[in-house]
Amino acid sequence: MILQRSRNKLITILVHILIWGVFGWAVVFYQPFFYNITIPYQYWIKQTLLLGMLVSGYYLNSAVLVPQLLLKNRSGYYLLFLVIIAIGIMLLSSYIDQLLNLHRLIEEAFHKSGPPPKRHHNDENRWNWNLGLLIIIALVVGASTSVTVIQKWQKDRQEREELEKDKVTSELSFLKAQINPHFFFNTLNNIYALTVVDAEVAGKAIHQLSRMMRYLLYDTQQGHTMLSQEIAFVKDYISLMQLRLTDVVRVNIDTPANLQDMPLAPMIFLPFVENAFKHGVSATQQSHIDITIFQKGKVLDLTVKNSIIKDNSVSLDTNSGIGLVNTRRRLDLLYPGKYKLNISELNAANEYTVHLVLDLS
């Protein structure tokens, strides 16, 4: 990671050097070659100093003025400093001209190559050069502002994306933690009781529990899992929950016969199934849970229906999961614009229905 950052920084520096080299050649040093005269060396000194001032103005604006003033909504001060920079560069350029006596040396160079230019033409050229310098300063500062603002926008967007990824990861970790330890504790107690009554069923339950633990600990570490694994996890969960249910509870799950396996975010289905077991079953009243998973191409269709037990005094030692609000939030982060979630709290059949359509394309 450190080596990669150093390499990226070196590449950035080289790109900046290349751009300034091309800019200096095209704008600052190339113009004199249009004239058939011998350019005095003082001119190259002045142009080098001018390029240095432009470079300084670019990075002063990029490193200080834009982040400290413009991006902090202090536009008035920002514009004031830009004017100061422009005036400063133009005054320093004029002072260097006078210090090096550059105008006289240029006139002498023109005189040696032909008739000396008239004075008013020289004054006009000086005015044109000052206007040209002002335009160059504006271009440099404008490029500096644009590049800095775009980089800041890209950095903020990257940070937001990383934050959203962290939220998704945290919510998944929280979801894993919501598989209540009481569920495993009571399941182990049931399995222990089964060892006396039916050792074969107890062995099967132990195998299912170990698969669930392996899925939680290892198969979801990459942030995605396979549809077949997710369905197998839900089936194991349902099977182990049924160990504690009586005959008055009917649980049915239908899954695709010809499953087309594909990656998806782990533990998408569990909150709805868990919610159905918590609120839709009773040890004494007739109750039911119907789960249907339908697949058409890359579109998944999940429907969970459970009876509504108004006085559900029997606890199954499960919890409410991350809740439907957080589940919807997780879907927003993982599949923005690619899912539909409809929840009907009560219908004619006195059922609670969750219908999720998820596009995995």
pLDDT (tens digit, 9 = 90+) per residue, 66-118? 999 998 889 899 999 999 999 999 888 888 888 887 777 766 666 665 554 45
More confident residue, 348 or 55: 55
The Cα-based distances of 34 to 30, 37, 39, 92, 204 in angstroms read 8, 9, 11, 25, 90
Q: What pLDDT was estimated at residue 193? A: 79
Task: Give the DSSP letter string of 279-336.
Answer: HS--SSS-EEEEEEEEEETTEEEEEEEEE--TT-----S---TTHHHHHHHHHHHHST
Return the structure tokens found at 210.
């170990």
Q: What is the pLDDT of residue 227?
A: 92
Residue 27 has a pLDDT of 67
H or E segment and range at residue 82: helix 75-99
Residues 178/322, Cβ–Cβ less than 8 Å:
yes
Selection from 141, 183, 154 nearest residue 56 by Cα? 141
The pLDDT, as a whole number, for residue 313 is: 43
Helix (H, G, I), strand (E, B) or coil at 10: helix
Of 42, 22, 17, the closest CA to residue 32 belongs to 42
How would residue 334 be classed by pLDDT, with cut points 50, 70 and 90? confident
Domain annotation for the chain: domains and CATH numbers: 13-162 (no CATH), 178-359 (3.30.565.10)
Residue 344: enclosing H or E segment and its boundaries?
Answer: strand 339-344
- State yes or no: pLDDT of 204 exceeds 60: yes
Q: Tell me whether residue 348 is exposed, middle or buried, using C-beta atoms within 10 angstroms of its C-beta: 0 to 12, 13 to 18, 19 or more.
A: exposed
**pLDDT tens digits, one per residue of 246-300:** 888 899 999 988 889 999 988 888 888 888 888 888 777 888 999 999 999 899 9
Average pLDDT for 140-149: 90
Pair 31, 129: CB distance under 8 Å: no
Q: How many percent of the chain have pLDDT more than 70?
A: 79
Distance between CA atoms of residues 147 and 265, nearest Å: 37
121 pLDDT more than 70: no
Contacts of 294 (CB under 8 A, 6+ apart): 256, 300, 301, 302, 303
For residues 215-238, average pLDDT: 85
Average pLDDT, the chain: 79
